[in-house]
Copies of this chain bind each other. A is one copy, B any other.
Amino acid sequence: MASINILKFGVSSPSDTSPLNQLKAAGFSPHDILAVIGKSEGNGCVNDFSRTLSSRVWEPQIPRSAVTVFSGGTEGVLSPHVTFVVSDRSTTGLRAAVGRTRIIEPHEIGTSVQAFEVASSIQSILKESGVAIDQVRLILIKCPLLTSEKVEIIKSSGMPPVTTDTYESMAKSRYSSALGIAIALGELEEDGLHEAMWSQPCWSTKASCSSGAELEDCHILIIASDSSPGGLRAISGYMSDAIDARAITRLLEQVDRESGHVLQVFAKAEADPTGKIRGNRHTMNTDSDIHSTRHARAAVGGLLAGLVGETRLYVSGGAEDQGPPGGGPLCVVYRVAP
């Protein structure tokens, strides 16, 4: 598992790969890229072609072993950008490892099969790279969804799809991936999976899962801290609800105490499924014009951008099993003076 650095740059459109020049100017080569994590400016839902476009233009530019994770939706103040995770020859204090599951068949999407594939892929990656579970700060996953065509493929094979609603399949897929992370990190027992899927939700604060039509397998990125010296740090936490400013300031205060500088924040956001936040009604789940994931990104993005003072943040929508219901995981990567 390589020592890594993290750099982020704005993009002028989903097809803009000019950040490669900025990466080179910063002394890195495209060969160093382990992952490109992007916020692209589509709707972040089923028909978000900004994600597909970004994957298409970026994948020929990066090593075959590298992964892309494009999360759609830059609602509100959020700014489209890419974050590079690159190998660094020097010891930085942070490490990363990437991998992929096998292709998830249409009828497996959003099921325990996907959860197990994710879990076992993460376990392999961790083993190969020699990272201990307690060093893991964040596991980012990009996973497939059900299109109308995939629903028909499932039906024509006589199986019941987990859902026929393509938007809802995004949530099912995120949830399966997150359970896979929970199993891999020992937060959930394998034989508790069935219950977790149906009746006893559990959650992980290291999981950040995003689904899309642009891929068939799951892309996995693990960011871990290293006991070795170096200027990079990552700390994790979670928002208890979508207005939990305290969860954010607590992490930012730790960065301040170490005189650090925030490089990136990774957050997930969702509309509270109860329809209320601290006792007051929200309307994200009854708005038939804008899906709740778009609302949630806009609101949590506004809060995070205000507190961090910058809008190129990774805020992704739909936090099923990723942090407590209505809340979501947070991971702050920062640099301290050497």
- Residues of A bordering B, CB below 8 Å: 10, 12-15, 41-43, 45-50, 52-53, 56-57, 74-81, 147-149, 151-152, 164-168, 213, 242-245, 248, 273-278, 280-291, 294-296, 298-303, 305-307, 309-312
Residues on the B chain within 8 Å of A286, using CB: 41, 46-47, 147-148, 166
Tell me whether A277 and B77 are in contact (CB under 8 A). Answer: yes
* Known pairs A79-B282, A274-B152; A302 contacts B166 (CB<8 A): no
Closest chain B residue, CB of each to CB of A51: B49
- Report chain B residues within 8 Å CB of A311: 243, 277-278, 280, 282
Instruction: Give A241's nearest chain B residue, CB to CB.
Output: B77
* A288-B75 CB under 8 A given contacts A13-B52, A53-B53, A56-B53: no
A302/B53 in contact, CB under 8 A: no
Selected contact of A245 from candidates B15, B47, B306, CB within 8 Å? B306
Q: Closest CB-CB distance, A82 to chain B, in whole Å?
A: 13
Least CB distance from A166 to B in Å reads 5
Residues of B within 8 A of A273 (CB): 164
* 7 residue pairs from A and B, CB less than 8 Å apart: A46-B286, A56-B57, A76-B302, A77-B243, A81-B280, A148-B275, A301-B302
Q: Select A75's contact among B56, B152, B295, beta carbons within 8 Å.
A: B295
Task: Say yes or no: B243 contacts A47, CB within 8 Å.
Answer: no
Assess the A75–B14 pair: CB atoms within 8 A: no
- In the bound complex, residues from chain B placing their C-beta under 8 Å from that of A167 are 288
Q: Which residues of B contact A302 (CB under 8 A)?
A: 76, 242-243, 298-303
Which residues of chain B are near A299, meaning CB under 8 Å?
75-77, 298-299, 301-302, 305
A280, B53: Cβ atoms closer than 8 Å:
no
Residues of B within 8 A of A12 (CB): 149, 281
CA of A12 to CA of B79, assembled, Å: 30
**Bound form: Cα–Cα A216–B306 in Å:** 35
For A248, list chain B residues within 8 Å (CB).
306
Separation of A149 and B300 alpha carbons in the complex (Å)? 23
Closest partner residue, chain B, to A11 (CB atom): B281
Could you tell me if A310 and B43 are in contact, using CB atoms closer than 8 angstroms? Answer: no
How far does the alpha carbon of A300 sit from the alpha carbon of B306 in the complex, in Å? 9
Question: Do residues B151 and A298 form an inter-chain contact, with CB atoms below 8 A?
Answer: no
Q: Which of B15, B280, B298 contacts A295 (CB 8 A)?
A: B298
